[in-house]
Structure formats: structure tokens, C-alpha cells
Structure 1
Amino acid sequence: MKKILILFVLLVQSLLATDILISGAASLKEYLNKNTSEYEKQNPNINFILNLGGSGTLKNQVEQGAPVDIVFLADRDMMIDLKNKKIILDEFPILENKLVLIKNIHNKNSKITLATGDPKYVPAGRYAEQALKKSPLDMDYSLIYLKDVRSVLNYVELGEVDYGIVYLTDTKFLKNSEVVKIFEKSTHDSIEYSIGVIADSKNKNECIQFLNFLKGKNWDE
């Protein structure tokens, strides 16, 4: 009887929970999974839904009126633009990252391939483009653009390409690859992750409370 009552209470809570949709950069997957889960445990009335992808693509979706409550991108300039357009209430930079070159440790191809995010849509791709101009690699390679930084990581891990440029925080998942270079900060724009609440969100108060919860939480906290 007690188990049935507990299940009933949990069911009622889930039905009454407020859904908050977060559009976040693909590289934030683990960070958001961890912190939204922790917040949901502390606040059973909140249920997060994550929409992850390339920051440029997510920004375009938000500008076109996607039903999002919070946007969290790997490019502060994009967030400032959304703020200036009054699409978000404000923007808060709360995380930083570094750019690295990774290499598949098994590949021995004569023709080298290097993958980055598409600079038109993926901040990591734009940072990579800047870094390669200021700090060229001492090798010949064919460049391949992918939809987001996690796709780059996966392609290198699977051996589909030889090298890839990703964020330092992504490298904790490497099994078949290794970091061969960390790009100096001076070779690219500052990598800042900024978050903001959509101005038209019906859940502004709940979103602001979650933003306050995230402030001060670094990648591993």
C-alpha cells in the first residue's frame, strides 16, 4: 500500500511539473544533464527538456520563435545579439573553455583529414578557423566541416577522420584518441558560454531561479 501511495505521489508530481525547455550547445551535454538532474531532485515541480546542438543552429531556431525557455550557447557574441534584439532578458557568461587538437591513435592514413565544426554555425568551428590561421599545423590535410563539436569528437574516435579540433572539456571522453595540441588563447576569440532566459517565456521566474543555481558551478561541480 505504501509503495502504491509513493507511486501515486510521484505520478501527480510529474503531471503537475513545469516543463522548462533549454536549448544548449552540444558541448554542454554532460554539464546540463548533471545540473538539471540535481535541480529536479531539489525541485520536483520542475522538469527540464534539453535540446542540444550547434550554437548557431540553436540561435537561428530561437530567432524564428522556437518554444524555448532558456538558451545557453558557446558564443557570448551570439547571446549579446539575442539580448540586443530583445529575444532574451539578459545574458550571463558562466563558463569558459579551451580549444585543442585531438588525433586518432590508430589511424595511419597517408592522406590526413581534419574535422572541425562548420564555422558558419558552430562557435568551435569559428575558433578553430581563427586558431589555424594564427597557429598553422605543420602538415598537409583535407578539412571537413561537421554540424557540431561532438560530431567532430565522434568522427575522430571512430577513425572516420584523423584529427579534430574540439574543446578541452570534451577530451575526458577520449578512448581511441589523444590531445596533441592545446591552442593558445591568443590564437582565437575568448571561449565563453553564456546563458539567458527567453523574454517571452511563460516560466521566467522558474528559469531565473535555475540560472541563479548554475552561477558559480564550473564544469566539474
Structure 2
Amino acid sequence: MTGRFAGSIAAAVAALAALVLAGCASAGAGATIPSAVPTEADTEPTTLTVFAAASLTEAFDELAEQFEAEHPSVEVTLSYGGSAALAQQVVEGAPVDVFASAAEPPMQTVVDAGLASDPVVFATNTLELIVPAGNPAGVTGLDDLADADLRIALCDASVPCGAASLKLLEQEGVVAAPDTLESDVKAVLTKVSLGEVDAALVYRTDVIAAGDQVEGIEVPGAASVVNRYPIAALTEAGDPDAAAEFVAFVTGDAGRAVLAEAGFGKP
């Protein structure tokens, strides 16, 4: 091999090496190497469907917002109503991840159907007499619910607030004369807020939530009729981990703080 030929080969190799190095430098300066591990921002959001008793509306709206802030990849969809009706929807196959009831019997319906296990009681609530702002009918106590001249609203006996109302009335020896029976406590609250009825029984938390639209009258003996609120992740939840995390959030310190502010008692 002549010196000139060897020199040409060496020069070619050097030039090729220079091109390779230049390409690597360019890629390092301006290109991003794709990551093999997807980040949370790259993942599709998980929709978590929560069925909750109507009396939990304000508290769960706040809890869902806080939970989403801590879990950006999860969107919480809330559906409120009477606990018994919600339980029936779960049993009939509604796609639900978490169920929170205003009493234990509706939750037991779901447990008996094999759709939930180990529910946890996370709050308590009691009843209070409620009247429109200014108390135009001059209601003073539970006995007024027996006055046929007054317009009275109660929850239907099939829902927890109705069952608790009947228990309280029986305990206090009052035979109420309701003009309307509603499917959930928020429907009762609405009638009072609009002045469509003179008095009703709702949860203490609903009186707080309604603010200056209504007035609450404490009922002696109401403290002995306590509703216990259970919550459970459902066995057929689409994302079991997210469902379990939401339950843990509600039953943890953050959940208890929000529930206490709304007027719920400790479990």
C-alpha cells in the first residue's frame, strides 16, 4: 500500500468520524429523546363515578374538587339522590365506582348483592326542624308538624331522612300531617327555601347549607336519632385503585375537615 493511498483512507475515516460527531452534537443540542415511560400528563384521564346521598352534595362537591387537584389524572363524576334509589341503581348494573349512603340499610342492599365489601362509616347526621326565612307561620317546635292548617313537607319513608323523621316523630309522640312526601332531603329543602311549605324536617347539614334562605329550630331528642353514613368502593369499579384512593381521601383528615365544616358529626 503506497503512502498516498494510505493517507487517503485515513483522511476519509477522519471525515466520516467528524460527520458522526457533528450529528450527535446537533441531536444533543436541539432534540429530545423520547421517554419510554409515559408521564401522568400523557395518560388518559380516569373517570371516577361516585353515587352519593343528596345530603352530601355540598361536602362532596368540595371533596371531589380537592381530590382532583391532588390526582390530575382522575375526573370525579358525582351523582346525587335518595340513598335507596341510588342503591337500587347500583344493584341493577349502573356503572358506579364508589357509593356513599346516608344510612346503613341502603349500603347493605349493595353489600348483599355482592357489589361492595367492608363499607366504612365516615360521618353522622341528625335532624332539625326547618322553616322559611322569617318563619312566617310562627312555627316553634316539632308539635307544629301535626297542625293540619300548616303546609308540611317530609322525606318519604323509603329514604334515610324519611325513616329518621318517622323515628323521631314516633319517639316524641307527634303524629305529623305532611302535605308532601319528597324523594330526597334536597327536594324538601327546596320547598322550604321557596316558601312552598311552612315547616319540614331535614338534616342539620341542610339547614347550614341553605344559609339565610331558611331558619333552623333545634328539636330536643333529635340527638338520639342519628344517621350513620357508610362509603365503599364497589367490587366492579372500573379503576379499583382510584376508587380506593377516593374512599381513603373521604375518610381521611381532608375529608373529615370538609365534613365537619358542613355540619356532619364524627363517625
Measured against the shorter chain, the TM-score band is 0.7 to 0.9
Q: CA separation in 2, counterparts of 1:117 and 1:215?
A: 27
Alignment of 1:20-169 (within 5 A): 20-104=48-132, 105-108=134-137, 111-120=149-158, 122-137=159-174, 141-169=177-205
Q: CA separation in 2, counterparts of 1:57 and 1:178?
A: 29
Report deviation, 1:62. Answer: 0.6
Report deviation, 1:98. Answer: 1.1
Q: CA separation in 2, counterparts of 1:14 and 1:131?
A: 53
Q: CA separation in 2, counterparts of 1:20 and 1:183?
A: 40
Runs of 4+ in structure 1 displaced over 4 angstroms?
Answer: 12-15
Secondary structure (helix, strand or coil) at the match of 1:220 reads helix
Kept in 1, the 8 Å contact 2:53–2:80? The answer is yes
Q: CA separation in 1, counterparts of 2:154 and 2:177?
A: 12
Q: CA separation in 1, counterparts of 2:178 and 2:223?
A: 25
Equivalent in the alignment of 1:210: 246
Kept in 1, the 8 Å contact 2:126–2:223? The answer is no
- Higher relative strand content: 1
Q: What is the identity percentage for the equivalent residue pairs of Structure 1 and Structure 2?
A: 26
Report deviation, 1:17. Answer: 0.6
Q: CA separation in 1, counterparts of 2:42 and 2:61?
A: 18
Change (3 A) 1:90 1:45: same
Q: CA separation in 2, counterparts of 1:31 and 1:186?
A: 21
Q: Deviations over 1:76-122 (max 9, x none)?
A: 122133223211132110001111111223533982022111112x1
Kept in 2, the 8 Å contact 1:22–1:51? The answer is yes
Change (3 A) 1:14 1:192: farther
Q: Deviations over 1:184-205 (max 9, x none)?
A: 25653x3011101111112111
Q: CA separation in 2, counterparts of 1:155 and 1:62?
A: 28
Specify every segment of 5 or more residues in structure 2 that has no aligned partner in the other structure, as ranges.
Answer: 1-39, 139-147, 262-267
* TM-score under structure 1 length normalisation: 0.85
Equivalent in the alignment of 2:221: 184
Higher gyration radius (CA): 2
Q: May I ask how many residue pairs the two structures share in their alignment?
A: 207
Kept in 2, the 8 Å contact 1:106–1:159? The answer is no
Pairing partner for 1:175 from 193, 212, 223:
212
Q: CA separation in 1, counterparts of 2:220 and 2:154?
A: 14
Secondary structure (helix, strand or coil) at the match of 1:178 reads strand
Report deviation, 1:182. Answer: 2.7
Change (3 A) 1:207 1:140: closer
Q: Deviations over 1:154-192 (max 9, x none)?
A: 11111101111111111112323211233525653x301
Change (3 A) 1:128 1:143: farther
Q: CA separation in 1, counterparts of 2:151 and 2:62?
A: 33
Comparing 28-37 with 77-86, which one deviates more in the overlay? 77-86
Query: Considering only aligned residues, what root-mean-square deviation do their CA atoms show, in Å?
Result: 2.3
